[in-house]
Structure 1
Amino acid sequence: MRKTFILSVSVLAIFLSGSRLEAKIVLPKVIGHNMVLQRHKDVAIWGSAAKGETVTVSFAGQQKQTVAAADGKWEVKLSPMEASEQPRDMVIAASDTIRLHNILVGEVWLCSGQSNMEYAMRKNSKLFDKVRGSHPATDDLQTANNPNIRIFLVRRKYMAPDSTHQGWDVAAGTPLRDFSAAGYFCAKELYAKLHVPVGMISSAVPGSRIEPWIEKKQLEVSPKLKDGTTLKPLTNDGGDAGKFYETMIRPVIPFTLSGVFWYQGESACFLNETIRYAYKFKTLVNSWRADWKDASLPFYFVQIAPYAYSAAKDVRPHTTENLPEFWESQALALKLPNTGMAVITDLVDSVADLHPGYKWEVGRRLALLALNKTYGMKDIVCNGPIYNGIKIVRDKIEVGFTNTGSGLASRDGKPLTWFSIAGADGKFYPADAVIRNNKVVVASPSVKHPVKVRFGWNEAAQSNFINKEGLPAAPFRSDNPWENVFE
């Protein structure tokens, strides 16, 4: 009997121990030591615990409580906070207690896309001798040491919760080597102008199409154009819908963000996508905004760089105009509220390079969009010239632009390049283009009665047309077939 009693007590102890293990608080990978929390917004903190257990979150003088639901999930919202560079602890308590250290409050952004967003700092460091754009004074991979810039790299196979709560790092040393160069330099520029902590989350996969970044059910739609035309369901294009959304986006929802930076599209251009891509990107923007319960969440994106798609050995034939047509489809996203586009046609050394360097300038231009549009620094010019209509004056076309900054200019002082015009027959000829009264007047002796104008309408186009702030003009065609049908 004595042995039986001892055995029963042992079994009971094991059972109770197991129950306590099951009751432990579990946090998502993105909530951990060294993180940055978003200022001026309700901040989501979430995880799981035992059913019905009271969970208390304490941080910066706040204490929030909730009860774990039937499935164990819980979430609290910290009230809006001011930015703080003071490292503080967060305590999350239930039947056990987790203490997270060295937490700051500032601005948090998510950067996502494919290889040019994933392009790591270790690669960027090899190109430090390149000088285009706002070249940094030193190689940041060797000198970065700002404890107020924090980074979180989403690794698709390592997003399961664990007991270490390690994931966020100071943007320096070994952790910075694998981090997005564009994302880091964007964070660096934001900190330089805002003087508050900046947290950057990078979630990008080389070669990825846009479909994997969108929840599959969101793509099961047939977009209807303004002219009544209905497209086939977006899921018809395949592309592993939802694959990276489930493993690399869902795990960071609903971590409170200031906004999103997006750099993707080369894979879609290889597929000769145009209007369908525009609707996919619109779907991504709207669905992510719904996921984060923020209908005005800013989305700032990069218009992909010049590249010789026509020379690619691919199953689909390409012309030199496929890329401009894709640029056009990307630009349609500017019709959505709280969006902005960084143009990088000038940041290419060779159109044979799908992954051009100068990510320090790509990051800076993304930051300019945020500084102007999100943070209200209207004195910062954030775009180069963007087409805003034409006026036909006898044998010339007068082209108007927005985002002219302090004036239109030629980067090298030479005549503007990559303009062409056409008459009613639709045949385009290279045209002379001159800046006059902050507009561009275009003409060609080959076209007596021009009706259309195009700029940068070639995959190799790297024009000298800029505003005086040095930002390049966006490619366009006045006969854009999608302008009045996209909605």
Structure 2
Amino acid sequence: MCSKKLIFLSLTVLLLVTFNLFSQVTLPKILGHNMVLQQLKEVPVWGTASPGEKIAVAFAGQSKTTVADSSGKWSVKLSPMKASFTPRQMTIKGTNTILLKNILVGEVWLCSGQSNMEYAMRKYSKFQSAVKGNRPPEDDLNTANNPNIRIFLDRRKYMDPSPEHLGWDSAIGRPLVDFSAVGYYFAKDLYAKLHVPIGMIAAAVPGSRIEPWIQASKMEIAPKMKNGKTLDKLSADGGDPGKFYDSMIQPLIPFKLKGILWYQGESNCFLNENIRYAYKLKTLIESWRTDWKDKKLPFYFVQIAPYNYSAAKDVRQHTTENLPEFWEAQALALHLKNTSMVAITDLVDSIADLHPGYKWEVGRRLSLVAANKAYGQKNVVCSGPAYQKIKIVHHTIEITFSNVGSGLASRDKRPLTWFSIAGVDGKFVPAKAEIEGYKIIVSAPEVPHPLSVRFGWNEAAQSNFISKEGLPAIPFRSDNPWDKLF
């Protein structure tokens, strides 16, 4: 009898504790001290409480109230605010009261992907050993001291709500050590351009394919191409669909963002993917935009670097053209609105290194895109030359480019490299390439009647062809079979 009473008492205490925990107002991990809220947009604030509990949120002179629904969920939207360097407090009051401190208003970006996006600032020594380009003038890992750049490191096992409301930090000292180098340098350069607080959220997992970043239900589509052919359902490729979406992306929604940065693809390239990856990237972009209820949400991504995939000893045989085909697939996403791509073919010291160390330059180039595309600074040149069209003139091919900046150039003043042409037989041979104004003229004695041209069509290609602003030309082939499928 005593044992039954003891069990009953224990269960009663457990139920009371559980009810008390549920009745407390709770916030998702992304809402916490030191965060940055997106300026000039409605800002969602949300969480859980007891069903029917009245919730009041106060911030920057605003007061919003709501009532938790039958499942205990609640949300309010703060009216758009201007950027502010003034640290302010947010009060969320229900049965209990939560006070969040040191909050700024500015620009918020999410950076995601695999290891090259995750590549942390603690690897700064590798930056210092880089031999190309201009290294950062100072050791940011030890000298960074801008409290107006805030960072949130999304760790997949630690995204549950916590009573401490910690997660955001200033990009100073120890918190910066584990943060994405690309994300930090993007924020640093963007801050210099905009002079408003910058908030960066990093959600990246080394070695991850694209599938885990897409909600599993969105992978059950069979892409239909414009030529009428239907591909197998995307989920047929495996890759743990939704694994990181569920644990790292969904907990961030609907935290208001200005845009998204994406640096991923190596794991899918090892699988020799091309057009299927293009549709997966399209699915990710469109589904994330749907999740954030923003069809125009900027999405800027990095074209992966040259690497010796053909030397990989795995179950698939690779050729030197698998990577260029993947580059081509990545570039197809540019047919979606409000997307842009950063080329980094010049930022590699060795094609045996899957993780080149020039992360400060990758971040800077992404900031150029943001400045031009997202913030309307049209005087900022943000991309290298991109293939537009060809014209066959006698025994030569005349190539026209977009994004030429102030002109075309050779990085080392030597003849342009990695151009090839072919005639009706489809056999490509190295070609002479000359700059004539804003065009490139290519020819080869072996091909008197050229039909097609390729540039950088090799996994090792690190051409000297750039814009006068120093940005590399994007690899292409004029005989692209997948052009404009979206």
Query: TM-score if structure 2 supplies the norm length?
Result: 0.96
Deviation at 1:437, TM superposition (A): 1.9
Which residue does the alignment assign to 1:111?
111
Query: Quick check: 1:300–1:366 contact (8 Å CA) kept in 2?
Result: yes
Query: Quick check: 2:130–2:349 contact (8 Å CA) kept in 1?
Result: no
Deviation at 1:17, TM superposition (A): 7.2
Write the distance in 1 (CA, Å) between the matches of 2:127 and 2:433: 34
Write the distance in 1 (CA, Å) between the matches of 2:146 and 2:372: 24
Write the distance in 2 (CA, Å) between the matches of 1:264 and 1:315: 21
Which residue does the alignment assign to 1:382?
382
Write the distance in 1 (CA, Å) between the matches of 2:22 and 2:360: 46
Q: Which runs of 5+ in 2 are unaligned?
A: 1-10
Counterpart code for 2:103: I
Q: Residues 15-43 of structure 1: CA distance to partner in whole angstroms, max 9, x if unpaired?
A: 87765443211100000000000001000
**Number of residue-to-residue matches in the alignment:** 479
Which residue does the alignment assign to 1:476?
476
SS of aligned partner of 1:126: helix
Q: Residues 234-271 of structure 1: CA distance to partner in whole angstroms, max 9, x if unpaired?
A: 01000000000000100101100000000000001100
Counterpart code for 2:250: R
RMSD across aligned C-alpha pairs, in angstroms?
1.7
Does residue 413 in structure 1 map to residue 398 in structure 2? no
Which residue does the alignment assign to 1:366?
366
Query: Quick check: 1:456–1:476 contact (8 Å CA) kept in 2?
Result: yes
SS of aligned partner of 1:127: helix
Query: Quick check: 1:27–1:47 contact (8 Å CA) kept in 2?
Result: yes
Query: Quick check: 1:125–1:141 contact (8 Å CA) kept in 2?
Result: no
Write the distance in 1 (CA, Å) between the matches of 2:13 and 2:265: 57
Counterpart code for 1:356: P
Write the distance in 2 (CA, Å) between the matches of 1:86 and 1:17: 39
Query: Quick check: 1:124–1:359 contact (8 Å CA) kept in 2?
Result: no
Q: How does 1:137-156 map to 2 (within 5 A)?
A: 137-156=137-156
Write the distance in 2 (CA, Å) between the matches of 1:272 and 1:422: 24
Does residue 314 in structure 1 map to residue 314 in structure 2? yes
SS of aligned partner of 1:145: coil
Does residue 90 in structure 1 map to residue 105 in structure 2? no
Query: Quick check: 1:124–1:358 contact (8 Å CA) kept in 2?
Result: no
Deviation at 1:131, TM superposition (A): 4.7
Which residue does the alignment assign to 2:22?
22
Write the distance in 2 (CA, Å) between the matches of 1:246 and 1:15: 28
Write the distance in 2 (CA, Å) between the matches of 1:228 and 1:17: 59
Counterpart code for 2:282: K
Which residue does the alignment assign to 2:43?
43
Query: TM-score if structure 1 supplies the norm length?
Result: 0.96
Counterpart code for 1:47: G
Query: Quick check: 2:152–2:201 contact (8 Å CA) kept in 1?
Result: yes
Write the distance in 1 (CA, Å) between the matches of 2:469 and 2:162: 47
Which residue does the alignment assign to 1:160?
160
Q: Identity of aligned pairs, percent?
A: 68
Which residue does the alignment assign to 1:227?
227
Q: How does 1:324-339 map to 2 (within 5 A)?
A: 324-339=324-339
Write the distance in 1 (CA, Å) between the matches of 2:451 and 2:15: 82
Change (3 A) 1:441 1:12: closer
Which residue does the alignment assign to 2:256?
256
Write the distance in 2 (CA, Å) between the matches of 1:126 and 1:239: 31
Does residue 446 in structure 1 map to residue 450 in structure 2? no
Q: Residues 303-354 of structure 1: CA distance to partner in whole angstroms, max 9, x if unpaired?
A: 0000000011111000000000000000000000000000000000000000
Q: How does 1:34-433 map to 2 (within 5 A)?
A: 34-433=34-433
Deviation at 1:14, TM superposition (A): 9.6
Deviation at 1:466, TM superposition (A): 0.3
Counterpart code for 1:235: S
SS of aligned partner of 2:276: helix
Write the distance in 2 (CA, Å) between the matches of 1:49 and 1:333: 41
Q: Which runs of 5+ in 1 are unaligned?
A: 1-10
Q: Residues 394-444 of structure 1: CA distance to partner in whole angstroms, max 9, x if unpaired?
A: 000000000000000000100000000000110000000000021000000
Query: Quick check: 1:134–1:360 contact (8 Å CA) kept in 2?
Result: no
Deviation at 1:130, TM superposition (A): 2.1
Query: Quick check: 2:49–2:74 contact (8 Å CA) kept in 1?
Result: yes
Query: Quick check: 2:408–2:437 contact (8 Å CA) kept in 1?
Result: no
Counterpart code for 1:353: D
